[in-house]
Amino acid sequence: MTTTREGTCCAEMAMVCLTDFEEYAKEHLSKATWDYYAAGADECCSRDDNLLAYKRIRLRPRILRDVSLSDTRTTVQGTEISFPVGIAPTAFHCLAWHEGEMATARATEAVNTCYITSTYSTCSVEEIAAAAPNGYRWFQLYVYRDRKLSESIIHRVEALGYKALVLTVDVPYTGKRRNDIRNQFKLPPHLKVKNFDGVFQEATGPAGEEYGVPANTLDPSISWKDVYWLQSLTRLPIIIKGILTKEDAELAVEHGVQGIIVSNHGGRQLDGGPATIDALSEIVDTVQGRIEVYLDGGVRTGSDVLKAVALGAKCVFIGRPAVWGLAYKGEEGLKEVLHILNDEFRLSMALSGCRNVAEINRNLIQFSKL
C-alpha cells in the first residue's frame, strides 16, 4: 500500500506485464523525455512493425512432454546467463531514474544477465563497473571521426573487465526523429555523456549539439575495413549490431567477428526496413552456427522471446522496456521487468512442451502457407 499526500491509502498498481511499465513511464516522464525514448524515424513504420511482426507468428505447441521441471538458462559468448534476455544499449538512463546506468548495472547483475552499456551513458564506464563489480557487461561502441576517442574508450572498458565490444553499424548519420526535432531535445544541464566528460567542452561548433555531443562527431566513412582496425586494438570479441540482411551477415562472418545483433536500432534509423524478427531467419540460415546471432527490437512478452529463440536467436535484448522499468522504480523496477519476462518465457516454454532452451527449435514455429 502507498499513502498519498492527503494521507489516504491506495493500493499500489500491480505491474503484470511490460505494457504496464510503459503506461507508467508515459505518465511520469516529461513529454520531451518520453518522446525521446519512444521515437522512431520518420513515420515510425519500422518501430511499430518490430512489435506487430511478433503477432503474425504462430506457435506449434507440443503436449504431454513432462514439463514439471524447466530451465531457462543459456550462454552468450560462453558465459551462462539466467535466461536469453539481456539489456540492449540505450542512452541517457539518468533521464528515467536519478542513478541511471548504475541502477541498470545492479539490476542486471542481480538477475544474472548481460548488460550492453551505451557509449551515450549518463554514468561513466568506470561508475557502471563499480556499481556492479560482478556484473556481465559488454560495451556498445560508435566510431568517431576522431579515432583516438574510440581507441581510448576501448582501452578503458577492456581494463575494466567488459567482456565484448558491440559495434553499432547503422548510424553513419542519425535518423530523423520528428518529435526530437519539434521538442528541440537536449540533455538537461545537470546531465552529460559521462564517458566524454571534458572532451567536448570547447568543441561544440556551428552545427550545434546532437544528443549530448557536438553534431557530426560520428564517422560516416566507417566501413568493413574498420572491423580489422578494431581487431588490431583489442582482444575482446567483436559483435556487430545493426545487420538486417544475409549479405551483410556473410560479410560479418568473413571479417571474423564473434556475433551479430539483428537490429534496426528500435526503428530509429532507416524507416521502412524489415522488422528484426522477420529478418532473423535469413541471417541464421546464412551464418549456420559459425557465430552467435542475437536480436533486439519489439520484444515485449515471454512468448516473443520464445519465438525469437525458436527462429535461431541465441539471446534477445530489450531497450525501451528497460527504461520503463527504471522510470517505475530504478533498480527494483528493472528487476521486476526482467522477472516478469523470465516468468512469461518459462510459462510459454512449458505450454509449448519445452523443458530447456536446447529443446526450443524451428519446429515450434508455424510457417504460414503463402
Number of helices and strands in the chain (H, E): 12, 16
The burial of 370, by beta-carbon neighbours within 10 Å (0-12 exposed, 13-18 middle, 19 or more buried), is given as exposed
- What gap in Å lies between CA 83 and CA 85, rounded to an integer? 6
Query: What pLDDT, on a 0 to 100 scale, did the predictor assign at position 216?
Result: 82
* 89 belongs to an annotated ligand binding site: yes
HEC letters along 178-237: HHHHHHCCCCCCCCCCHHHCCCCCCCCCCCCEECCEECCCECCCCCCHHHHHHHHHCCCC
* 124 belongs to an annotated ligand binding site: no
Compute the average pLDDT of residues 324-343: 98
Answer whether residue 367 shows pLDDT above 90. Answer: no
**Is residue 211 very low, low, confident or very high in pLDDT (cuts 50, 70, 90)?**
confident
Answer whether residue 4 shows pLDDT above 60. Answer: no
* 299 belongs to an annotated ligand binding site: yes
Answer whether residue 5 shows pLDDT above 60. Answer: no
* 319 belongs to an annotated ligand binding site: yes
Q: Are strands 259-262 and 292-296 parallel, antiparallel or unpaired?
A: parallel
Q: Do 74 and 81 form a contact (C-beta atoms < 8 A)?
A: yes
Q: Which of 5-19, 33-47, 327-341 has the lowest mean pLDDT?
A: 5-19
Compute the average pLDDT of residues 325-340: 98
Catalytic residue among 28, 93, 255, 265: 265
CA angle 71, 335, 241 (to 5 degrees): 80
Compute the average pLDDT of residues 140-154: 95
Per the listing, cell 579515432 goes with 147
Catalytic residue status for 98: no
> Residue 188 is which amino acid?
P
N-term to C-term CA, the chain: 52
User: pLDDT tens digits, residue range 239-270?
Assistant: 999 999 999 999 999 999 999 999 999 999 99
User: pLDDT tens digits, residue range 218-243?
Assistant: 999 999 999 999 999 999 999 999 99
Per the listing, cell 571534458 goes with 198
Alpha carbon 192 to chain centroid, angstroms: 21
Maximum Cα–Cα distance across the chain: 67
The burial of 352, by beta-carbon neighbours within 10 Å (0-12 exposed, 13-18 middle, 19 or more buried), is given as buried
Question: Which positions ≥6 away from 150 have C-beta within 8 Å?
Answer: 141, 142, 143, 144
**Which grid coordinates are listed for 146?**
576522431
Alpha carbon 308 to chain centroid, angstroms: 14
Percent over 70 (pLDDT), the chain: 94
Q: Are strands 9-10 and 2-3 parallel, antiparallel or unpaired?
A: antiparallel
* 118 belongs to an annotated ligand binding site: yes
Task: Tell me the whole-structure pTM to 2 decimals.
Answer: 0.95
